[in-house]
């Protein structure tokens, strides 16, 4: 296990901003943190980055209990990028190489890593290496800040709204670079993002925070709008292939709904069902998770959904990737975010 938190609390003055009884996080995964303003997301990120100590409780990192003595050692493996990251008032190459030099890498490795990291965030090294910090757009500056972290090939990359104030091109490049870091170096990504559609479709697990507490942990499905209001009070989304998804309840401002993977049922035949949603799609991927559960990734029209089923059910239905399948869930299973 990469992190284990036990009875961790963080107080500011007398107010408890974070209270986590138990949290286990595995290496090599993408974790998305979601929750309203003030729910404790940044507080949790700072604690996981070892930039802040909890007021109470224990953090275990790679099997060792974290103390104020050994935190600086672990900080070498973990790096955090903020919303409007500040650059050093120097050239791009000085910014990206700074952390590597601090960690004592030789000059050849520094050069290779700097070029690699700039390419990862879509900045041509020949154009950008010698640019000064003031010759960059906001999006480019944020990409340089990310490159400086990627150059370290960190074990853990923590991101606090990294794309909140950047242009669309930079946003896409930052998102791509993050996924690449996970794939190439098995970097664990722990990330807060306003782009819920992207976060929910990319993250292996979503942690939902509310009032400083983790109220839900697990994979989630996300369905963005637009939604059409129907006369019966339901809302409907039309997929490009003509299928419709129905959800109940009053829509939220984000216009995005989430459905727990355990609420999604699979059927070989189009059964008569009381559930409002009966859709047709195919199985894209199957993987074991949590012992005897299987995570089935489904493509339905242009959207992707994950269902969690037991291996016994998967055997009975003879599920396999590529197979066509019916997907059933209630309109009430969808929660507006």
Ligand X SMILES: Nc1ncnc2c1ncn2[C@@H]1O[C@H](COP(=O)(O)OP(=O)(O)OP(=O)(O)O)[C@@H](O)[C@H]1O
Q: Is 79 in the site for ligand X (CB under 6 A)?
A: no
Taking the complex as a whole, the smallest distance from the CB of residue 14 to ligand X amounts, in Å, to 10
Taking the complex as a whole, the smallest distance from the CB of residue 158 to ligand X amounts, in Å, to 12
Q: Which stretch binds ligand X (CB under 6 A): 36-44, 267-275, 289-297, 320-328?
A: 36-44
Q: Which stretch binds ligand X (CB under 6 A): 33-41, 232-240, 296-304, 310-318?
A: 33-41
Q: Is 42 in the site for ligand X (CB under 6 A)?
A: yes
Q: Is 39 in the site for ligand X (CB under 6 A)?
A: yes
Task: Among 40, 125, 154, 261, indicate the residue that binds ligand X (CB under 6 A).
Answer: 40
Q: Which stretch binds ligand X (CB under 6 A): 23-31, 37-45, 163-171, 242-250?
A: 37-45
- Whole-Å CA distances, 9 to 39, 59, 208: 13, 11, 17
Kind of pairing between the strands at 30-34 and 188-192:
parallel
Q: Is 210 in the site for ligand X (CB under 6 A)?
A: no
Q: Which stretch binds ligand X (CB under 6 A): 32-40, 147-155, 196-204, 216-224?
A: 32-40
CA distance 121 to 119: 5
CA distance 283 to 210: 33
CA distance 149 to 80: 8
Taking the complex as a whole, the smallest distance from the CB of residue 46 to ligand X amounts, in Å, to 8
CA distance 268 to 272: 12
Strand partners, 218: 206
Cβ atoms within 10 Å of 21's Cβ, excluding its own:
12
Q: Is 254 in the site for ligand X (CB under 6 A)?
A: no
Query: Within the chain, how many helices (H) and strands (E) appear?
Result: 9, 21
Binding interface with ligand X (CB under 6 A) = 12, 17, 35, 37-43
């Amino acid at each position: 296990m990469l992190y284990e938190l036990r009875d961790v609390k963080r107080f500011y003055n007398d107010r408890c901003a974070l209270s986590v009884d138990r949290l286990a996080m595995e290496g090599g995964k993408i974790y998305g943190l979601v929750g309203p303003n003030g729910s404790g997301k940044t507080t949790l990120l700072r604690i996981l980055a070892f930039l802040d100590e909890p007021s109470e409780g224990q953090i275990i990192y790679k099997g060792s209990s974290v103390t104020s003595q050994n935190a600086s050692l672990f900080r070498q493996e973990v790096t955090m990028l903020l919303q409007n990251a500040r650059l050093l008032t120097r050239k791009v190459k000085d910014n990206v190489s700074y952390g590597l030099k601090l960690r004592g890498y030789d000059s050849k490795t520094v050069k290779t890593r700097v070029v690699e990291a700039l390419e990862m965030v879509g900045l041509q090294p020949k154009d950008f290496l010698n640019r000064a910090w003031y010759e960059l757009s906001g999006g480019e500056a944020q990409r340089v800040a990310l490159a400086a972290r990627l150059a370290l090939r960190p074990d853990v990359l923590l991101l606090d709204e990294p794309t909140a104030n950047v242009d669309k091109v930079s946003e896409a490049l930052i998102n791509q670079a993050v996924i690449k870091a996970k794939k190439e170096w098995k970097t664990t990504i722990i990330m807060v993002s306003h782009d819920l559609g992207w976060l929910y479709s990319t993250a292996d697990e979503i942690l939902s925070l509310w009032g400083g507490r983790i109220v839900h942990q697990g994979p989630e499905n996300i369905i963005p709008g637009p939604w059409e209001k129907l006369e019966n009070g339901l809302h409907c989304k039309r997929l490009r292939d003509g299928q419709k998804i129905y959800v109940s309840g009053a829509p939220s401002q984000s216009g995005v709904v989430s459905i727990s993977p355990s609420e999604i049922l699979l059927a070989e035949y189009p059964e008569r069902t009381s559930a409002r949603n009966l859709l047709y799609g195919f199985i894209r991927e199957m993987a074991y998770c949590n012992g005897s559960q299987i995570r089935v990734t489904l493509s339905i029209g242009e959207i992707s959904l994950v269902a969690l089923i037991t291996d016994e059910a998967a055997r009975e239905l003879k599920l396999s990737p590529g197979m066509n399948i019916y997907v059933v869930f209630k309109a009430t299973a969808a929660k507006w975010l």
